[in-house]
């Protein structure tokens, strides 16, 4: 399969308040965000010309920056509008949207209080994170080597670039072994999340999902919980041990990229995509595409 590098594409990227040609949107090799991971980002989806939960994503971007001790030099409203304009400038009505903010080149040390903060927004077509066959059968996950760290070791609720290093490592190992993704435990040994999405389990018509006390409480996760409860489905947020997985009949993951995707396997545990996970996947898809009004 031929891969088109992300630095060699047509289009426009919003960079520090203005549009620049895609191939000219560059940073210096001594950018602090590259060396010390002082960078935060969001992953959003536009459906039919509307970015789903745009304001919630932008507010989280600002909160993540605050946790990393820097201030984004724009308002939430300005970034919201820039996201919309970037999609329009590139002629896209269905797209993946990536806002990112990072520290610049003024200081090259751990201390970086005087660095300029930069913001960029890129958008591109991305129809589905998983193939239709994977969604139908349920994706296969293995166990990740690394665990989600404790809240007193890093800013676990920031969507920060550095926190994804262990995700990339884990996903590479999973794919090398023939799996789609990897399931991560938290620092205590409870089920946490996959490398890029939250997880839900179903037992006797009740949904169980890990308490997001050391990982992101995803915006898609929150949406799906509202959808389920609006249908009268009980949703329990709690700590879940790995050995409990044998008790669950269905499993699915959620995220802006993953949307709602059934899971067929996690390590030695198997699940069958059923009525609840499949119907929630359909309901979420219809809602974000404005075929169904949110509850």
CB-based burial label for 275 (10 Å; 0-12, 13-18, 19+): exposed
Q: Are residues 78 and 188 in the same domain?
A: no
Could you list the active site residues? Answer: 159
User: Mean pLDDT across the stretch 182-194?
Assistant: 98
Retrieve residue 102's tokens.
Answer: 């990072």
Q: Are residues 143 and 229 in the same domain?
A: yes
Retrieve residue 117's tokens.
Answer: 């903060």
User: Mean pLDDT across the stretch 234-260?
Assistant: 97
Please, which contacts does 117-120 make with residues 24 or more away whose CB atoms are closer than 8 Å? 117/65, 117/70, 117/71, 117/72, 117/73, 118/15, 118/16, 118/27, 118/33, 119/15, 119/16, 119/72, 119/73, 119/74, 119/79, 120/13, 120/14, 120/15, 120/16, 120/25
Q: Domain residues for 158?
A: 132-288
The distance from CA 162 to its chain's CA centroid, rounded to whole angstroms, is 14
Q: Are residues 100 and 170 in the same domain?
A: no
User: Mean pLDDT across the stretch 146-168?
Assistant: 97
Report yes or no on 7 lying in a domain. Answer: no
Report yes or no on 293 lying in a domain. Answer: no
Q: Are residues 19 and 99 in the same domain?
A: yes
Q: Are residues 120 and 136 in the same domain?
A: no
User: Mean pLDDT across the stretch 197-202?
Assistant: 98
Q: Are residues 252 and 145 in the same domain?
A: yes
How many residues belong to the chain? Answer: 295
The tally of domains found in the chain comes to: 2
- Residue ending a domain, among 124, 143, 163, is 124
Q: Are residues 139 and 225 in the same domain?
A: yes
User: Mean pLDDT across the stretch 146-167?
Assistant: 97
Report yes or no on 4 lying in a domain. Answer: no
Q: Are residues 137 and 71 in the same domain?
A: no
User: Mean pLDDT across the stretch 223-232?
Assistant: 97
- Give 137's pLDDT tier (boundaries 50, 70, 90): confident
- Give 292's pLDDT tier (boundaries 50, 70, 90): low
Report yes or no on 3 lying in a domain. Answer: no
Q: Are residues 142 and 213 in the same domain?
A: yes
Three-state secondary structure readout of the chain? CCCCCCCCCCCEEEECCEEEEHHHCCCCCCCHHHHHCCEEECCEEEECCEECCHHHHHHHHHHHHHHCCCCCCCCHHHHHHHHHHHHHHCCCCCEEEEEEEEECCCCCCCCCCCCCEEEEEEEECCCCCCCHHHHHHCEEEEECCCCECCCCCCCCCCCEHHHHHHHHHHHHHHHHCCCCEEEEEECCCCEEEECCCEEEEEECCEEEEECCCCCCCCHHHHHHHHHHHHCCCCEEEECCCHHHHHHCCEEEEEECCCEEEEEEEECCEECCCCHHHHHHHHHHHHHHCCCCCCC
> How many percent of the chain have pLDDT more than 70?
96
Q: Are residues 119 and 137 in the same domain?
A: no
Q: For residue 290, what pLDDT is reported?
A: 81
When the pLDDT of each residue in the chain is averaged and rounded to a whole number, the result is 95
- Give 288's pLDDT tier (boundaries 50, 70, 90): very high
- Residue ending a domain, among 79, 98, 124, is 124
Q: For residue 181, what pLDDT is reported?
A: 97
Q: Is the pLDDT of residue 58 over 70?
A: yes
Q: Is the pLDDT of residue 2 over 70?
A: no
Q: For residue 261, what pLDDT is reported?
A: 96
Report yes or no on 77 lying in a domain. Answer: yes
Report yes or no on 201 lying in a domain. Answer: yes
Report yes or no on 197 lying in a domain. Answer: yes
User: Mean pLDDT across the stretch 194-214?
Assistant: 98
- Residue ending a domain, among 124, 154, 176, is 124
pTM above 0.75, yes or no: yes
Q: Is the pLDDT of residue 220 over 80?
A: yes
Residue 274: which CATH number?
Answer: 3.20.10.10
Q: Which tens digits make up the pLDDT trace of 259-279?
A: 999 999 999 999 999 999 999
Q: Are residues 65 and 139 in the same domain?
A: no
Residue 85: which CATH number?
Answer: 3.30.470.10
Any idea which of 25-29, 136-140, 198-202 has the lowest mean pLDDT? 136-140
Q: Are residues 174 and 219 in the same domain?
A: yes
CB 161 within 8 A of CB 37: yes
Report yes or no on 20 lying in a domain. Answer: yes
């Amino acid at each position: 399969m031929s891969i088109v590098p992300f630095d060699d594409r047509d289009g426009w990227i919003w960079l520090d308040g203005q549009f620049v040609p895609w191939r000219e949107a560059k940073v210096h090799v001594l950018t602090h965000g590259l060396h010390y991971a002082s960078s935060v980002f969001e992953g959003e989806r536009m459906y039919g010309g509307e970015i789903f939960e745009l304001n919630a994503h932008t507010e989280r971007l600002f909160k993540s920056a605050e946790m990393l001790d820097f201030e984004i030099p724009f308002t939430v409203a300005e970034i919201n509008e820039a996201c919309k304009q970037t999609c329009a400038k590139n002629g896209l009505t269905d797209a993946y949207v990536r806002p990112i903010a990072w520290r610049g080149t003024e200081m090259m040390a751990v201390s970086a209080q005087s660095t300029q903060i930069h913001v960029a927004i890129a958008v591109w077509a991305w129809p589905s994170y998983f193939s239709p066959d994977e969604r139908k059968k349920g994706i296969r996950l293995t166990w990740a080597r690394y665990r989600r760290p404790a809240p007193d070791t890093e800013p676990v609720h920031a969507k920060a670039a550095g926190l994804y290093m262990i995700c990339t490592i884990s996903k590479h190992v999973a794919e090398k072994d023939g799996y789609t993704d990897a399931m991560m435990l938290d620092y205590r040994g409870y089920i946490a999340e996959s490398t890029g999405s939250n997880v839900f389990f179903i037992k006797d018509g009740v949904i169980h999902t890990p308490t997001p006390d050391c990982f992101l409480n995803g915006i898609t996760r929150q949406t799906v919980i509202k959808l389920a409860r609006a249908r009268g489905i009980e949703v329990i947020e709690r700590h879940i041990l790995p050995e409990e997985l044998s008790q669950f009949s269905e499993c699915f993951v959620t995220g802006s990229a993953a949307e709602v995707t059934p899971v067929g396997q996690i390590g030695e545990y198997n699940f069958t995509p059923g009525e609840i996970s499949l119907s929630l996947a359909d309901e979420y898809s219809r809602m974000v595409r404005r075929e169904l009004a949110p509850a």
